[in-house]
Amino acid sequence: MDSIIVTGGGPLSGQIPIAGAKNACLTLMPATLLSDEPLTLTNAPRLSDIRTMTTLLQSLGAEVQSLQDGQVLALSSHNIHNHIADYDIVRKMRASILVLGPMLARDGHAIVSLPGGCAIGARPVDLHLKALEALGAELDLRDGYVHAKAPAGGLRGGIIDFPIASVGATENALMAATLAKGTTEIRNAAREPEIVDLAQCLRKMGAQIEGEGTHTITIQGVDRLGGATHRVVTDRIELGTYMLAPAICGGEVTLLGGRIDLLAAFCEKLDAAGINVTETPEGLTVARKNGSIRAVDVTTEPFPGFPTDLQAQMMALLCTAEGTSVLEEKIFENRFMHAPELMRMGAKIEVHGGHATVTGVKQLKGAPVMATDLRASVSLILAGLAAQGETIVNRVYHLDRGYEHVVRKLSGVGAKIERVKGQ
């Protein structure tokens, strides 16, 4: 397996372009299943998860072309001939469950394997299934597959009241409801920018949607959807990750395409920690205020709160802060698996259930470490930027799922980083 070698020391300077959002693109791609007309996505990220979703859609009969070096995806689902999403593909990525709602809404039936993905907690799909049942779907779980069937005449509008706000379940319900007969109201809907982006794309396809970005989304079902061209929203998690690079090792970096409104709660914590974030016409410019990092407490919450997908990276920063920080993880269990690897680099961290206490040290030290999931892998790279000596990050295949050209982007602003092929 490949490894990434980071040699710490020295401030960063320059610009980093931020890609389109992985989580948005993985939701927009299955939207092609709702129509027999072409859907074109621009500003697409070039990631292994995108390739996995491409493989899944192609297995169902969709046509997917990658154009302009992968930044444009041309999709067409005019000839869907298979309604079984196979385990061998779905197990690689949890977002695969998002084909269930569109297939069920358009063709009235689907069989989808229960999904896989990062090992950061159970993340059950029961909310997805209850949402579809509220639209009249008949569901049966057999042998690891969801067998779904719409009633005669198709899905019908209904009230979907989520006990907790779930991004994936909101997305599945939103897509399914666009072709359901009558009106659907999604209550306690997730408010993430990726939800807003999906609704905007669906509206271009002819859907009637109101309220995205709030806790209540209302959809008036239509008979059919058409084609559209849509630009994928900026990846706020990649944005936040690279904002932490100059924060952790000094210097000043501009993140091209960045917007504060995508990460307001995160930017507030950076300000409290002693980091300046300035919005410019080009994006966001990030630099330390006066040389030192202050400890801050962080609690992960659904949008617009602090993103769980930036918790590991924030922990890397706080490992060298002055004082003690407490990080509370309220979204996923098992999401402190990066802590023991950071401790191998000299960090002082105590984990108790959903809380991690981080006492800052003057200097991290390079060490061989192992990535346990997508966000943990990049947190170790960030820590390596601030560490003395060489850090070797192993099992970086996780990284390829969510970050394009990490080595190129960081070396472009002065980081000493290289990727080494495995034996």
Domains 3-19+234-420 and 22-231 share a fold: yes
C-alpha–C-alpha distance, residues 129 and 289, integer Å? 48
Dump pLDDT digits (tens) for 68-88. 999 999 999 999 999 999 999
Q: Is 115's pLDDT higher than 90?
A: no
Percent of the chain at pLDDT exceeding 90: 87
Q: Work out the pLDDT band at 23, boundaries 50, 70, 90.
A: very high
Structure tokens that stand for 214 in this block: 């709030």
How crowded is the C-beta side of 159, counted as CA atoms within 13 Å?
Answer: 3
The predicted structure's pLDDT at residue 375: 86
309 is in an annotated binding site: yes
94 is in an annotated binding site: yes
Q: Is 95's pLDDT higher than 90?
A: no
Which residue do the tokens 């005669």 mark? 152
125 is in an annotated binding site: yes
The predicted structure's pLDDT at residue 398: 85
Burial class (CB in 10 A: 0-12, 13-18, 19+), 339: buried
334 is in an annotated binding site: no
Enter the DSSP assignment of 182: S
Q: Work out the pLDDT band at 114, boundaries 50, 70, 90.
A: confident
Q: Is 117's pLDDT higher than 60?
A: no
State the amino acid at position 123 in one-letter form. R
Q: Is 122's pLDDT higher than 70?
A: no
C-alpha–C-alpha distance, residues 90 and 329, integer Å? 27
Q: Is 120's pLDDT higher than 60?
A: no
The predicted structure's pLDDT at residue 291: 77
Q: Is 361's pLDDT higher than 80?
A: yes
Q: What is the mean pLDDT of residues 309-335?
A: 93
Q: What is the mean pLDDT of residues 150-177?
A: 96
417 is in an annotated binding site: no
Top pLDDT among 357 and 398 is at: 357
172 is in an annotated binding site: no
Instruction: Give, in order, the Cα–Cα distances in Å from 421 to each of 40, 124, 136, 380.
Output: 34, 35, 51, 18
Q: Is 124's pLDDT higher than 70?
A: no
Tell me if 401 sits within 8 A of 49, measured CB to CB: yes
123 is in an annotated binding site: yes
Q: Is 292's pLDDT higher than 90?
A: no
The predicted structure's pLDDT at residue 204: 98
Q: Work out the pLDDT band at 121, boundaries 50, 70, 90.
A: very low
Q: What is the mean pLDDT of residues 154-168?
A: 96
The predicted structure's pLDDT at residue 386: 93
∠ at Cα 357 (353, 358), nearest 5°?
140
State the amino acid at position 12 in one-letter form. L
Most confident of 58-67, 106-115, 120-129, 395-404: 58-67
Q: Supply the mean pLDDT for the chain.
A: 94
Query: Would you name the residues annotated as active-site residues?
Result: 118
Global confidence as pTM: 0.91
Q: What is the mean pLDDT of residues 120-144?
A: 84
Q: Is 320's pLDDT higher than 60?
A: yes
331 is in an annotated binding site: yes
227: Cβ contacts below 8 Å, ≥ 6 apart: 35, 37, 38, 39, 40, 205
Q: Where are the domains of the chain?
A: 3-19+234-420, 22-231
The predicted structure's pLDDT at residue 128: 95
Structure tokens that stand for 198 in this block: 């999906």
Helices (H), 29-86: 48-60
Dump pLDDT digits (tens) for 166-200. 999 999 999 999 999 999 999 999 999 999 999 99
> What is the CATH architecture of 22-231?
Alpha-beta prism (3.65)
Tell me if 29 sits within 8 A of 41, measured CB to CB: yes
The answer regarding whether domain 3-19+234-420 maps to CATH 1.10.10.10 reads no
Cis (ω within 30 of 0) for the bond into 304? yes
The predicted structure's pLDDT at residue 376: 87
83: Cβ contacts below 8 Å, ≥ 6 apart: 60, 103, 107, 109, 110, 111
Dump pLDDT digits (tens) for 30-70. 999 999 999 999 999 999 999 999 999 999 999 999 999 99
